[in-house]
A and B are shown apart, each in its own frame.
Chain A
Amino acid sequence: MRTDVRALLWTALFVSLTSLGGWVRIPVAPVPFTLQTLFVYLSGDLLGNRRGFISQVLFLMLGLIGVPVFSMGGGLGYIFQPTFGYLLGFPLAAWTVGVVCQRLGARNRWMHWMICNTAGMCVILTTGVLYLAFYLRFIIHQEISWEKIILSGLIVFIPGEVVKMSMASILAKRMAPFFHDQGLMI
Chain B
Amino acid sequence: MTLIFLAPRLSSLLVIALGTIVLYQAARLNTGLAFRNIRPFLWILILTVIIHALFTEGHILIRLPLSLAVTTEGIHAGLFYSFRIVVLILSAALITLTTSPMALTDAIERFLKPLTRLGLPAHEIAMMMSISMRFIPTLMEETDRIRKAQISRGSRINGSPVQRIKGLIPLIIPLFVSTFRRANDLALAMEARCYRGGENRTSYQALRFRWVDGAALGVVAVSGIMILAWV
Interaction A to B: yes
Chain A residues within 8 Å of B, Cβ to Cβ? 1-3, 5-6, 8-13, 15-17, 19-20, 23-24, 26-28, 33, 35, 38, 54-55, 58-59, 61-62, 65-67, 69, 72-77, 79-82, 139-142, 163, 167, 170-171, 174-175, 178
Residue numbers in A under 8 Å from B180 (CB-CB): 178
Quick check: B81 and A139 within 8 Å, CB to CB? yes
29 pairs of residues in contact across A and B, judged by CB atoms under 8 Å: A8-B124, A8-B127, A9-B190, A13-B182, A16-B133, A16-B139, A17-B175, A23-B143, A26-B164, A26-B165, A27-B161, A54-B125, A61-B129, A62-B129, A65-B101, A67-B136, A75-B93, A76-B92, A77-B37, A81-B40, A82-B44, A140-B47, A140-B48, A141-B81, A142-B51, A142-B52, A167-B165, A171-B176, A175-B173
Other-chain residue from B131, B165, B173, B197 in contact with A171 (beta carbon distance below 8 A) = B173
The A-contacting residues of B in range 120-153, CB under 8 angstroms, are: 121, 124-125, 127-129, 131-133, 135-136, 138-140, 143
- Across the A-B interface, give the 3 residue pairs with the lowest CB-CB distance, nearest first: A66-B96, A15-B132, A3-B197
Quick check: B41 and A19 within 8 Å, CB to CB? no
Q: How far is the CB of A95 from chain B (nearest CB, A)?
A: 16
Tally inter-chain residue pairs, CB-CB below 8 A.
159
Residue numbers in B under 8 Å from A141 (CB-CB): 52, 77, 81
Residue numbers in B under 8 Å from A65 (CB-CB): 96, 101, 104-105, 108
Counting chain B CB atoms within 10 Å of each CB, the highest count among A10, A13, A175 belongs to A13
Quick check: A9 and B187 within 8 Å, CB to CB? yes
The A-contacting residues of B in range 12-31, CB under 8 angstroms, are: none
Quick check: A58 and B128 within 8 Å, CB to CB? yes
Q: How far is the CB of A186 from chain B (nearest CB, A)?
A: 17
Check: B168 CB closer than 8 A to any chain A CB: yes
Chain B: interface residue count, which band?
35 or more
Expressed in whole angstroms, the Cα–Cα distance for A11 and B44 within the complex equals 34
Expressed in whole angstroms, the Cα–Cα distance for A121 and B127 within the complex equals 29
Interface SS of A by simple majority = helix
Expressed in whole angstroms, the Cα–Cα distance for A73 and B40 within the complex equals 8
Check: B196 CB closer than 8 A to any chain A CB: yes
Other-chain residue from A16, A19, A58, A69 in contact with B125 (beta carbon distance below 8 A) = A58
Quick check: B165 and A3 within 8 Å, CB to CB? no
Expressed in whole angstroms, the Cα–Cα distance for A16 and B195 within the complex equals 21
Expressed in whole angstroms, the Cα–Cα distance for A163 and B164 within the complex equals 12
Residue numbers in B under 8 Å from A16 (CB-CB): 132-133, 135-136, 138-139
Expressed in whole angstroms, the Cα–Cα distance for A22 and B22 within the complex equals 35
Other-chain residue from B105, B183, B190 in contact with A13 (beta carbon distance below 8 A) = B183
Residue numbers in A under 8 Å from B135 (CB-CB): 12-13, 16
Expressed in whole angstroms, the Cα–Cα distance for A79 and B179 within the complex equals 30
Residue numbers in B under 8 Å from A1 (CB-CB): 197
Closest-by-CB residue of A relative to B128 is A12
